[in-house]
Chains A and B, each alone.
Chain A
Amino acid sequence: MTTATMPRTARVGFSLDPALLIPLVGAGVLIYLAVLPLLMLFIGSFQAEVAPREFVYTLKNYQNAYASQYTYSTFVNSLIFASGSSGLTFLLGTTLAWLTERTDTPLRKIFVPLAVVPLILPGVLESIAWIFLLSPKFGYVNVFLMNIFGLQSPPFNVFSLPGMIWVHSVGQVPLAFLLMVAAFKSMDPSLEESAMMSGAGTWQTFKRITLRLLMPTAASVLLILFVRTLESFETPALIGIPARIYVYTSEIYLAFNEYPPDYGRGGALAVGLLLLSAVGVWLYTRSTKESKKFQTVTGKAFRPRQFELGRWRWAGLGFLLTYFVFVVLLPFLVLFWASFLPFFATPGWDSLSKLSIENYRYLGTFRPFWDAMQNSLILATMTATVAMILTSLVAWIVYKSRIRGAWILDFLAFVPITIPGIVMGMALILLYVAFPLPIYGTIWVLMIAYVTRYIPYGMRSASGSILQIHSELEEAASASGASWWETFKRVTLPLLRPGLVAGWIYIFIVSFREFSTSVLLATGESRVLSILLFTMFEQGQVTVVAAIGVLMIVTLLSIVAIFYKLTGRIGIQT
């Protein structure tokens, strides 16, 4: 009996045992990061200010938000924007994935890395580039087509709902592409082969077997694209607001940024968007679990069979080429070209004589640019580092520690994926403007926002790698007398490194280009590059904006290249 009670007393004596303390701290950090801001937002959505800093509780905000004369148009616009964009993104992404993964289209392998390239183009720049290309009167594509075909009116107008759908979609295609490539790769070819053997042709097999097998994945990909479009703010800000086409995110932004600011209404709209997004994400996780029942992945070693397209191979190549020239390359080219112009002008021989490096020279001594560049670099590096450390600890606790209730951590780390960027920005303003910690208006509040938003991405790479590590290795270490920390540092962490690096690069990229949270939080000294682009674009310095964009892309590419060299692999995860 005495021997049995001994260790128990000993454990009580070591109540600071990291194995117990760390999960608690982890939960505390996650609650602080993800739950507290949402709580503030929720409470704020029921408050009305009757006199300066005097609040009463009311349901009026919800009435203002959801029963105004604009409710209907905002709802319809959001619905059309999100469904149109998710549909188009899915169609383009799936076609690219199918052509490059499952057919014998010539040169298809070259296009696999190219399809991911647009990830490097920040959403703000994507929108700006397409404004240059598709503006009704001066957009290069319109001017070109009007000149060639002698058209009286421009064929495209980017300042419209279809324009918004197009611009947002082409930016999202890499995501759909990666998800669908994964789906195609993991498909068991035996079902298709059986169909072929029973005399079905390529098209029939594709229609009756491939498509049906893909249905569950397709549904979940469409859903996640729908949710992401609903949450996005780049296109609604740069194209929607000037065109006076408002969706939920722009309504929230305007509730905060127009006089008099209406936090109540903004909060009520934000809570609605949050719920929509949460339901979407919940359906998505459910449907991805469901899709496993379809057994497209088996234990057998197999390579998906390729469809032979015959003469249509060239049509496939034509599609790939057209897509890459017009959708991937053109936005980069137009930004590059515009960055050498003194002001935006339609293409012509006279603009050739105006080309100069003046915009770049100007940026050389332009202090706000260097401040913003420094902020963006510091933030991206720190966010990626903090998020990966935090999530590898959390993932280790969830999957390895065998602590009861560890799933709560897993759940908490997943919560931020439901928070739209603009909602996060709004919640953090409400939280930190009145918070004793003086970080409001500094880059620290941005770092908190970014880390919170990207915890789910970090968890994905960290847990993926942790699950691959067999406990035997850690058990061996602890049997040899290593402490918990030593085991983590000397065994677990080195084994995790490749996954962590991949996660780090991804979070670095998304933090560097982040816009929708920063737009509410970054000001003056804490301004980041994407916000500088937005402000200067609003101020009409569009060709300088193009030059900043080019430098931003070059910076991102070189950092990714350095990491690629250092680690030997690039890990873009979704």
Chain B
Amino acid sequence: MTFVCRFVSLSLAISLLGLTGAFGASVETLEVVHKKALKEGGTLNFYGTLAQVNAEKILPVFEKQFPGIKVNHVDATSDKLVARAVTEARGGKTLGDILQIPLENVTQAHDQGLLLETNLPEAADYPAGLKGAFWVSSDLQYFIAAWNTNLVKKGEEPKSYDDFLHPRWKGRLIAEPRDLEMLLAFAKYKFKSDEKAIDYWKKIAAQNVEFHKGHSQLAELLVAGQAAACLTCYSHHYPSRIKKGAPVNYMLSEGVASINGTAIFKNAPHPNTALLFARWVASLEGQKVMAQGGRNPAHPKVDPVDKTKTDITYFITASDLKEFPKYDKIWKEIFKLR
């Protein structure tokens, strides 16, 4: 059905193009969408993992640019947000308008039939790997290594992931238990071999890694001195902490990148408000605001404000997602996680 609809609308758009001779005549401006959104009551239910420190710099800009719209930010970890949306759907309700979480979890919501397939005009600026039928990338996150400068001697700072195999790191490492992306990316892009990647992480497991849930908490634990180094931290967590004088530093020589995606809920209570936000956050302007708010924008023409991109990046693409279950199993076996 959707295919037919899209086909019809596409042919309609093409014939319109032919008639008017003006490219993009069928695209509504954000101002028009804003007017429609206001008629929906002026609320946007935003299910997103944006941490408060980022959200408070990003969401108010949107509210200011589109007066009369208030963002109700339901923030939790990504699996909690998907679980909540599934629970609500089970009761026959859709409360969320926008879902903005890691792509892996966006796909889970899509598998449950919760997301709208839509083609945002702003998506045209993005390369194929950063958009899909039901999502556009909002930002990227880089999994990197970081260390506590009080606990790591000068000259012993890690230069690459291989350095962590040195015995001096034994019992001094922390990581997030759910970051199977590291194994997947190492297998497919760093070593280009499952065997070598598994061997590497087994050796790391022998260093007695301590696991803590939540990347923000990992960063905070590292600042406090719970461990000397963190293996699977997010790069965008560090510049702000370093500016405050926290005794940490981070490694940008190599890392794993993964995608966060924005999607609109099917049957969203405020469909135009959702569309307005999805289009704004994907636009050049919205992406600049994301950068100002401390995230790594996905838009090819916008750079992050702080240095958070890695030199060598093992990029996890949308097509890698189907292999998550396989690597998840191996990751858990290596580290004896449940």
Contacts and interface: CB of A to CB of B under 8 A. Distances in A.
B224 interface: yes
B85 to A, nearest CB: 10
A49 B83 contact: no
Contacts of B52: 366, 368, 535-536, 539, 541
Contact of A343 (B73, B105, B241): B241
Contact of A345 (B113, B211, B224): B224
A259 B105 contact: yes
Contacts of B226: 135-138
B97 to A, nearest CB: 11
A441 interface: yes
B92 A259 contact: no
B145 interface: no
Interface stretch (B31-39, B215-223, B285-293): B215-223
Interface in B223-253: 223-227, 237, 241, 244-247
A260 B82 CA distance: 8
Contacts of A441: 95
A535 B220 CA distance: 14
Nearest to A434: B91
Interface in A411-449: 429-430, 432-435, 440-441
Classify chain B: how many residues form its interface, as a range: 35 or more
Interface of B: 45, 51-53, 56, 72-77, 79-80, 82-84, 86-93, 95, 105, 108, 112-113, 177, 211-214, 216-221, 223-227, 237, 241, 244-247, 337-338
14 contacts: A136-B226, A242-B217, A258-B79, A259-B83, A259-B105, A433-B93, A441-B95, A523-B76, A535-B76, A538-B216, A538-B217, A540-B237, A541-B216, A542-B220
B244 A137 contact: no
B74 A523 contact: yes
Contacts of B84: 257, 523
Given A346-B224, A368-B52, A52 B214 contact: no
Given A138-B226, A257-B80, A259-B79, A540 B217 contact: yes
Contacts of A332: none
B217 A440 contact: no
Interface in A339-378: 342-346, 354, 366-368
B90 A354 contact: no
Contact of A52 (B53, B80, B112): B112
Nearest to A368: B52
A109 interface: no
Contacts, number: 133
Given A257-B83, A366-B56, A523-B84, A137 B246 contact: no
Nearest to B338: A70
Given A242-B212, A525-B72, A433 B88 contact: yes
A445 B241 CA distance: 38
A66 interface: no
A253 to B, nearest CB: 10
A524 interface: yes
B244 A343 contact: yes
Nearest to A438: B93
B80 A344 contact: no
A433 B90 contact: yes
A366 B59 CA distance: 13
A257 B79 contact: yes
A49 B92 CA distance: 14
Contacts of B74: 523-524
A538 B79 contact: no
A259 B108 contact: yes
A256 B244 CA distance: 37
Given A368-B52, A430-B91, A433-B91, 16 more contacts: A52-B90, A52-B112, A242-B217, A244-B177, A256-B83, A256-B87, A257-B80, A342-B246, A345-B223, A368-B73, A433-B93, A440-B91, A523-B74, A539-B53, A540-B219, A542-B220
A432 B247 CA distance: 47
Contacts of A49: 90
A456 to B, nearest CB: 28
Give the interface centre of B76, B219, B223, B224 by most chain A CB atoms within 10 Å: B224
Contact of A434 (B83, B92, B214): B92
B21 to A, nearest CB: 45
Contact of A259 (B75, B82, B214, B246): B82
Nearest to B223: A343
Interface string A104-147: 00000000000000000000000000000001111000000000
Interface of A: 49, 52-53, 70, 135-138, 241-242, 244, 256-261, 263, 342-346, 354, 366-368, 429-430, 432-435, 440-441, 523-525, 535-542
A538 B214 contact: yes
A306 to B, nearest CB: 47
B88 A137 contact: no
Contacts of B244: 342-343
A435 B91 CA distance: 8
B60 to A, nearest CB: 8
Nearest to B104: A259
Nearest first, the 5 A-B pairs at minimum CB distance are A433-B91, A540-B216, A434-B91, A540-B220, A524-B74
Nearest to A137: B226
A256 B79 CA distance: 10
A441 B87 CA distance: 12
Contacts of A429: 87
A301 B123 CA distance: 84
Contacts of A137: 224-227
A524 B80 contact: no
A525 B221 CA distance: 29
Contacts of A135: 224, 226
Contacts of B51: 539-540
B274 to A, nearest CB: 15
B92 to A, nearest CB: 6
A242 B45 CA distance: 29
Contacts of A70: 338
B247 to A, nearest CB: 8
Contact of B245 (A52, A354, A535): A354
Contacts of A535: 52, 75-76
